[in-house]
């Protein structure tokens, strides 16, 4: 239906509202004649009663089409502050937050639309488009149960623009639930800090199956990096650091991210050499069927054949499944062995 001001003149609507106020016409009749609902009718009636002589259906713009120069300067100032934070490599800030800029301006009495701020950001080179596609990590580790894998890491940053030095954030994340089980700040990254982090996690949530860490010297001895002797006696992993000794004592397996090894190409882990092997075809749902289990296989074309590496661990009651395609590991999951009662490994 056409808009009201295009179907009636101001005078016609004023006359109808006047007749309603005099009791000549009822509301239902007027709503039918004007083609409006109850809410719109009472809005018109209120406008008429406030100013019968000046009543008009014409739209009035409440805001100016152009922002004052001083407002433009304030927007630019806030965008530049945000850009300086992103350009500072010591801060963990990588993207613009235009909503925060809008809030900061509003606290100073400057109310502008979010689209206006983004428009100015484009013109000033302070715009970052949204990432539409997340790159798939070749060594992504995915589990099937809580506690099967803890991703443990440390990050060094100046966590606030007002901080005068960097702090270390140590975190432990459950791979399956994505829940942060431990997080705390330390002035320095030390072996003791990582041991206390493991203690706090295990006392609160119990003993996990595996820890996933990098090859930092806190977690791993690497020949040629950690020895001060020219003539090396101990090879990589022949000496356990203090943190690794705690893991060994608790019976927790440690997995190292991107750990090098003298193995046949393209393998980087002994697990992919000394394992049981199966071959499966990726179906139309991008999955494979393995002993009545449907396993998703990301990043592999449909109907392609993949190699499945099986590493059972009867002592811990677990089965690790590592899926390879095109000379790279595309997926890794861990199942409880009890889910395969009829399979003899």
Residue at 85 is within a domain: yes
Going 134 to 137 to 138 to 139, the CA torsion angle's sign is negative
Residue 233 and residue 163 in one domain: yes
pTM to 2 decimals? 0.50
Is residue 145 within 8 Å of residue 157, measured between CB atoms?
Answer: no
Residue 278 and residue 191 in one domain: no
Residue at 41 is within a domain: yes
- The mean pLDDT of 242-260, rounded to a whole number, is 81
Residue at 31 is within a domain: yes
- pLDDT for position 85: 84
Residue at 309 is within a domain: yes
Residue 160 and residue 251 in one domain: yes
Residue 252 and residue 158 in one domain: yes
Q: What is the pLDDT of residues 22-57, one digit of tens each?
A: 888 888 888 888 888 888 889 899 889 988 888 888
Residue 34 and residue 96 in one domain: no
Residue 105 and residue 46 in one domain: no
Average pLDDT of the chain, as a whole number: 83
Residue 203 and residue 180 in one domain: yes
* Both structure tokens of 10: 């101001």
Q: How many domains does the structure of the chain reveal?
A: 4
Q: What is the pLDDT of residues 284-338, one digit of tens each?
A: 999 999 999 999 998 899 999 999 999 998 888 889 999 999 999 999 999 999 9
Is residue 272 within 8 Å of residue 305, measured between CB atoms?
Answer: no
The CATH number of whichever domain residue 197 belongs to comes to 3.30.420.10
Residue at 326 is within a domain: yes
* Both structure tokens of 73: 């300067």
Residue at 247 is within a domain: yes
Is residue 323 within 8 Å of residue 295, measured between CB atoms?
Answer: yes
Is residue 327 within 8 Å of residue 306, measured between CB atoms?
Answer: no
Residue at 61 is within a domain: no
Residue 246 and residue 206 in one domain: yes
Residue 32 and residue 92 in one domain: no
Residue 251 and residue 156 in one domain: yes
Residue at 264 is within a domain: no
Give the ranges where the chain is alpha helix by DSSP (H).
4-7, 10-21, 27-34, 38-50, 69-87, 98-107, 114-123, 191-205, 242-250
Last residue of a domain, one of 222, 256, 290: 256
CA atoms of 215 and 218, how far apart (whole Å): 8
Residue 145 banded pLDDT, cuts 50, 70, 90: confident
Look at residues 283, 287, 256, 284 and name the one whose alpha carbon lies nearest to residue 271.
256
Q: What is the pLDDT of residues 67-106, one digit of tens each?
A: 899 999 999 999 998 888 888 877 778 888 888 899 999 9
Residue 332 and residue 241 in one domain: no
Q: Which domain holds residue 42?
A: 4-50
Residue 308 and residue 331 in one domain: yes
């Amino acid at each position: 239906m056409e808009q009201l001001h295009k179907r009636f003149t101001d005078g016609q609507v004023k006359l109808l509202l006047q007749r309603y106020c005099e009791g000549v016409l009822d509301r239902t009749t007027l709503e039918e004649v004007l083609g409006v609902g109850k809410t719109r009718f009472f809005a018109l009636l209120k406008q008429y009663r406030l100013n019968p002589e000046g009543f008009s259906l014409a739209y009035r713009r409440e805001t100016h089409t152009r922002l004052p120069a001083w407002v433009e300067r304030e927007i630019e100032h806030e965008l530049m502050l945000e850009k300086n934070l992103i350009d500072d490599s010591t801060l963990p800030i990588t993207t613009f937050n235009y909503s925060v800029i809008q809030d900061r301006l509003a606290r100073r009495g400057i109310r502008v639309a979010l689209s206006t701020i983004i428009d100015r950001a484009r013109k000033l080179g302070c715009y970052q488009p949204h990432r539409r596609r997340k790159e798939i990590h070749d060594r992504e580790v995915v589990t099937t149960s809580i506690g099967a894998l803890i991703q443990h890491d440390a990050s060094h940053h100046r966590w606030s623009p007002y901080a005068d030095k960097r702090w270390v954030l140590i975190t432990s994340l459950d791979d399956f639930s994505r829940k942060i089980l431990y997080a705390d700040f330390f002035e320095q990254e030390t072996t003791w800090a990582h041991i206390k982090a493991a203690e706090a996690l295990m006392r609160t949530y119990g003993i996990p199956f595996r820890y996933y860490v990098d090859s930092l010297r806190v977690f791993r001895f690497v020949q040629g990096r950690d020895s001060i002797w020219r003539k090396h006696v101990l090879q990589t992993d022949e000496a356990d650091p203090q943190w690794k000794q705690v893991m060994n004592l608790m019976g927790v397996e440690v997995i190292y991210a991107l750990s090098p090894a003298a193995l046949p190409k393209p393998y980087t882990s002994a697990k992919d050499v000394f394992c049981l092997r199966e071959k499966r075809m990726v179906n139309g749902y991008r999955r494979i069927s393995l002993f009545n289990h449907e396993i998703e296989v990301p990043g592999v074309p449909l109907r392609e054949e993949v190699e499945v590496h099986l590493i059972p661990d009867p002592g811990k009651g677990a089965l690790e499944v590592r899926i390879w395609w095109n000379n790279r590991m595309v997926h890794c999951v861990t199942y409880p062995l009890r889910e395969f009662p009829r399979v003899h490994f």
